[in-house]
Amino acid sequence: MKLENDKFLSELTKLFQSAETSGSVVLTMKTYDGRTKPIARKPNPKTSSRKRAPSSTPDHHESEHLCLIRAVKGNKKISTIVVHKDVNKFQMAYANLMRGNMTNLKKKGRGKGENKSKQLTL
């Protein structure tokens, strides 16, 4: 379900809260060019005898950079598209959200190698 940036962050908070008891949330970030369908392959001239009209592709401007962010927990899927002018605002809110919801992470235990290096040798 595609949401606005603020609504996405509030829904992501709900996903993190539901994942505290069981499950996990998978986050994906990727560049987005505005396409909703994959690019059609060029037909093989040996197997295709008819000529096809060239497929229309959306105009992609180099100055327009978009980022697609998806979150999945079980069968619940949410996504948003961040425009380059809103990246700083979104990134700050996203970072605060991530810091606040990383409470269930386990600390790493010390390895045996670190204890040996702390002992004094004579």
Q: What is the pLDDT of residues 41-57, one digit of tens each?
A: 888 777 665 555 554 44
Residue 91 lies in a domain: yes
Over residues 1-25, the pLDDT tens digits come to: 899 999 999 999 999 999 888 889 9
Whether the pLDDT of residue 30 is over 60: the answer is: yes
Average pLDDT, integer, range 25-30: 94
Domain count, the chain: 1
Average pLDDT, integer, range 21-37: 89
Residue 107 lies in a domain: no
Residue 110 lies in a domain: no
Whether residue 71 contacts residue 25, with contact meaning beta carbons closer than 8 Å, is answered with: yes
Residue 58 lies in a domain: no
Residue 108 lies in a domain: no
Q: 71: domain range? A: 1-36+63-99
Residue 113 lies in a domain: no
Name the pTM for this structure. Answer: 0.67
Residue 55 lies in a domain: no
Residue 74 lies in a domain: yes
CATH code of the domain covering residue 68: 3.30.720.10
What angle (nearest 5°) sits at the alpha carbon of residue 84, between those of residues 83 and 90?
70
The single residue listed with the structure tokens 């990383």 is: 102
Can you tell me the distance from the alpha carbon of 72 to that of 26, in angstroms, rounded to the nearest whole number? Answer: 5
Give 122: exposed, middle or buried? Use CB within 10 Å, 0-12, 13-18, 19+: exposed
